[in-house]
Structure 1
Amino acid sequence: MAGEAMRRRARGRTGSAENLVRLVAHTDPVALVGISLSILLSVTLDLTNAATGVESLLAGLMGVTISLVLDSLARAERRFHLRTLLDGPPWLVRATPQVAGALREAAERHAGTRVAVEAQRRFEEFRRQAEQLAAGRIIRPGDDDEDLVGATRDCAREMVGLTNVMPRVSGELSWWRGDVGRRYWEANVAALARGVRITRVFVYATLSPELAELVEAQRRAGVRVGLLPIGAVSPHLHVNLAVWDGSSCWEGRMTAHGEISENEFSVHPADVERLTRVFRTCADAATFAG
């Protein structure tokens, strides 16, 4: 019985400590500092006889009251800001409480396990991707052509592109021969059929028969094709890019072996302006047939 009573008391103390931790965690730092200073002021006035006991108590209570009022105002501001954030598309309003609740449950119910660590990691990844979307950017793996092909299908007036063809062990034109390149070219052909003007510059190290054949095939299809030797421009212009209607763009981030490892689609004006400037610089230095 005594042991059980001691365990209950221990659990009670643990529960009290946890409640105190929760209270501190959910209290605004301004309120905590204000309350602490108010208590310190009251005790100091009383111990130094600078004020009577009643005056010291009133001074402390006044400080605590002001701190709590400030805390209440801060909480109200945060709640208003949260309501403003959730005043958006219906799918966002419905899903946000569910997502937040699931992550909190995972972190608290499985605290100290890999589940809690993974919950935090996934949340941080989601936050990073959300920030990219807010900036107008979508980043996908190198084999995901959804934005490259989709934006070409949506293009209404003009498309410009820059393709770097570098010698590789597996051949120069493997990207164009692969699934992504074929789908992209099919979208190009469809865009040409509906009247879209397409200009593409190939930056090359060697004008091989395979590259010459690809260039000729695109010219016959209606693409205005330019050729640019690799040494004619600065190395920082050796990028793969596309710009659609002057309003959206794509850049393929390449590995050291010349393989596209990451696709970045963007509608951010600075990105569109930067890639448009890169294309124009290369186009000015390129040679166009006819």
Structure 2
Amino acid sequence: MVRDMARERIRGQGSSSGGFVRLVAHTDPVALVGITLSITLSITLDLSNAASGVESLLAGLMGITISLLVDSLARAERRFHLRTLLDGPPWLVRTTTELAGAMRDAAEQHAGTRVAAEAQRRYEQFRLEAEQLAEGRIIRRGDEDEDLIGATRTCVQRLDALTNVMPRASGELSWWRSEIGRRYWEANLEALQRGVQITRVFIYARMSDELSALVEKQRAAGARVGLLPYGVVSPQLHVNLALWDGSSCWEAHMTAHGEIGENQFSVNRTDVNRLTRVFDLCSNAATFQD
């Protein structure tokens, strides 16, 4: 029993210490500085006999009161800000507190372990992705094609695209032969049947039989296809892109081997305008069979 009482006492001391640490962590830094200065001022006035003991105590208490008032105002402002942020879609309101609680538990209950470190890493990754979403961008791996194909299937009037066909380790036209390329072309055919106007420009280093066959295939399907030899435009314009109805865009970020390492879909007006300028420059320099 004595051992249990000692264990409970130690646990209580640890709980009190943890509570104090948590209190300090959640107190506004300005308030902490104010409380510290108030206590220091009270002790200084008392030791230097510049004021009586009662006056020193009152001065310290006044400073602490003002500091706590500042802390209270800061807390109220944060609560108001949180309520404003949570005034959104129901799924956001429902899950935000659960997410924050889970991350806090992972960091506190498993502090110093790989679990806590991984929780911080995943939360940081989530924060970065959320910031991109707030800017109107979706960034996915190179093998994820739902945005490219999905936007083509919902396109209403116009699809403009720029495709670079350059010698690379994976082969010049390997993407069009891949599963993603085939699904994308099927979505193109569906768009053409809906009356969507498709304009595609191929930038190429050499005209091969395979490229000629691909161009004729797309022209026969109803797409307006242009050819642009390498070197006519600046290398900075050699971008694989797609634009849908002038309101959304897709851009492929390439690896050193000429393969798609990352897909970026965007409705950000700056991104759409930038890729529109790139397409227009290449389209104006390309040769079409109109």
How far residue 168 of structure 1 moved from its aligned partner, in angstroms, is 2.8
Aligned match of 1:140: 140
> Which range is displaced more, 78-87 or 16-25?
16-25
CA separation of 1:82 and 1:58: change in aligned 2, threshold 3 A: same
Aligned match of 1:190: 190
Aligned counterparts of 2:72 and 2:204: Cα–Cα separation in 1: 65
Q: Residues 184-227 of structure 1, C-alpha deviation per residue, up to 9 Å, x if partnerless?
A: 11111111111111111000011101001101111111111111
Aligned match of 2:68: 68
Structure 2 segments unaligned to the other structure (5+ residues)? none
Aligned match of 1:274: 274
Aligned match of 1:174: 174
Aligned counterparts of 1:4 and 1:151: Cα–Cα separation in 2: 66
Aligned match of 1:225: 225
Aligned counterparts of 1:208 and 1:270: Cα–Cα separation in 2: 36
Aligned counterparts of 1:43 and 1:191: Cα–Cα separation in 2: 80
Counterpart AA for 1:160? D
Counterpart AA for 1:100? A
CA separation of 1:244 and 1:115: change in aligned 2, threshold 3 A: same
Q: How does 1:1-290 map to 2 (within 5 A)?
A: 11-290=11-290
Q: Secondary structure at the match of 2:46?
A: helix
Query: Would you say the 8 A contact 2:204–2:230 is kept in 1?
Result: yes
Aligned counterparts of 2:89 and 2:21: Cα–Cα separation in 1: 36
Q: Residues 112-151 of structure 1, C-alpha deviation per residue, up to 9 Å, x if partnerless?
A: 2211111111111111111111110001111111000000
Aligned counterparts of 1:24 and 1:169: Cα–Cα separation in 2: 58
How far residue 171 of structure 1 moved from its aligned partner, in angstroms, is 2.6
Q: Secondary structure at the match of 2:156?
A: coil
How far residue 68 of structure 1 moved from its aligned partner, in angstroms, is 0.6
Q: Residues 232-281 of structure 1, C-alpha deviation per residue, up to 9 Å, x if partnerless?
A: 11111111000111110000111111111110000000000000011111
How far residue 5 of structure 1 moved from its aligned partner, in angstroms, is 7.3
Q: Secondary structure at the match of 1:198?
A: strand
Q: Secondary structure at the match of 1:256?
A: coil
Aligned counterparts of 2:153 and 2:14: Cα–Cα separation in 1: 62
Query: Would you say the 8 A contact 2:170–2:257 is kept in 1?
Result: no
Query: Would you say the 8 A contact 2:170–2:258 is kept in 1?
Result: no
How far residue 110 of structure 1 moved from its aligned partner, in angstroms, is 1.7
Aligned counterparts of 1:235 and 1:56: Cα–Cα separation in 2: 74
Counterpart AA for 1:34? G
Counterpart AA for 1:278? V
CA separation of 1:85 and 1:169: change in aligned 2, threshold 3 A: closer
Aligned counterparts of 1:136 and 1:188: Cα–Cα separation in 2: 24
Q: Secondary structure at the match of 1:83?
A: helix
CA RMSD of aligned residues (A): 1.7
Aligned counterparts of 1:4 and 1:92: Cα–Cα separation in 2: 45
Query: Would you say the 8 A contact 2:232–2:285 is kept in 1?
Result: yes
How far residue 23 of structure 1 moved from its aligned partner, in angstroms, is 1.6
